[in-house]
């Protein structure tokens, strides 16, 4: 349906998304593949304002349903203003998180119904789904240690370990249920080894292009 390819990068806190996204960007540049990078929540001026609201730790009273709806409000704007036009133009889209994060964070973490999330997914996205999802996996304790080393935490990062254990379990369940789309990367090893895992995945994705 679209000329471009839609690649999403997922993972719980401290999994190394920023570093590994840079590896993917470098790879695509070397292959001379036209792409854009974006993130969720966010990616457009309106969606970024929603992101600020969602991550602000001052908003501790935000209820779970409102959080989920705001995520999909930002996603609707992101899709219509940026992602779909880029895919239609033949560009690859590299997104730091997408709807799998809603299943993991609001579904797994907050305990909201996956059926409710699926209804919003269909309403906002129609049949659009990522062509491939790279899941950066790390044990929760190690990931949160990395987060603490970064400095001040946002509203999500301040949650308890049990919240993040549920998120990791949800991500792994999504990967198990969608083996053709998901590619799991173990981010515990040294940086060079993780980078080799990323390159191997990208080699497969570009060969299938």
List of domains in the chain: 6-39+90-207 (3.40.50.300)
Q: Is the pTM of this model over 0.85?
A: yes
- Nearest-angstrom CA–CA distance, 4 and 36: 11
pLDDT at 143: 85
What is the percent of the chain with per-residue pLDDT over 90, rounded to a whole number? 77
pLDDT at 148: 77
- Tell whether the model's pLDDT for residue 208 goes beyond 70: no
DSSP H stretches of helix in 126-190: 140-150, 161-177
Give the pLDDT mean for 9-24. 90
Whose tokens are 């906002």? That residue is 124
DSSP H stretches of helix in 56-179: 64-78, 84-88, 99-101, 114-125, 140-150, 161-177
- Tell whether the model's pLDDT for residue 65 goes beyond 60: yes
Confidence of residue 52 (pLDDT cuts 50, 70, 90): very high
The neighbouring-strand residues paired with 6 are 93
CA quadruple 40, 185, 131, 102: dihedral sign: negative
- Nearest-angstrom CA–CA distance, 200 and 197: 5
Do the Cβ atoms of 138 and 14 come closer than 8 Å? yes
The closest alpha carbon to 37, from 10, 1, 7, belongs to 7
More confident residue, 197 or 207: 197
């Amino acid at each position: 349906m679209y000329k471009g390819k839609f690649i999403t990068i997922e993972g719980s806190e401290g999994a190394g998304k920023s570093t590994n996204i840079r590896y993917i960007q470098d790879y695509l540049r070397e292959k001379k593949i036209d792409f854009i990078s974006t993130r969720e929540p966010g990616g457009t001026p309106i969606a970024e304002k929603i992101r600020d609201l969602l991550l602000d730790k001052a908003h501790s009273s935000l209820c779970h349903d409102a959080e989920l709806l705001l995520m999909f409000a930002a996603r609707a704007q992101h899709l219509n203003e940026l992602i779909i036009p880029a895919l239609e133009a033949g560009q690859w889209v590299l997104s730091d998180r997408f709807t799998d994060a809603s299943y993991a964070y609001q579904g797994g973490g907050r305990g909201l119904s996956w059926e409710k999330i699926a209804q919003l997914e269909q309403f906002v996205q129609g049949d659009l789904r990522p062509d491939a999802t790279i899941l950066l996996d790390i044990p929760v304790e190690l990931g949160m240690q990395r987060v603490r080393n970064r400095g001040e935490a946002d509203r999500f990062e301040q949650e308890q370990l049990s919240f993040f254990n549920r998120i990791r379990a949800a991500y792994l369940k999504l990967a198990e249920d969608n083996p053709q789309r998901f590619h799991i990367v173990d981010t515990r090893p040294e940086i060079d080894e993780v980078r080799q895992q990323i390159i191997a995945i990208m080699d497969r994705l570009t060969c299938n292009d």
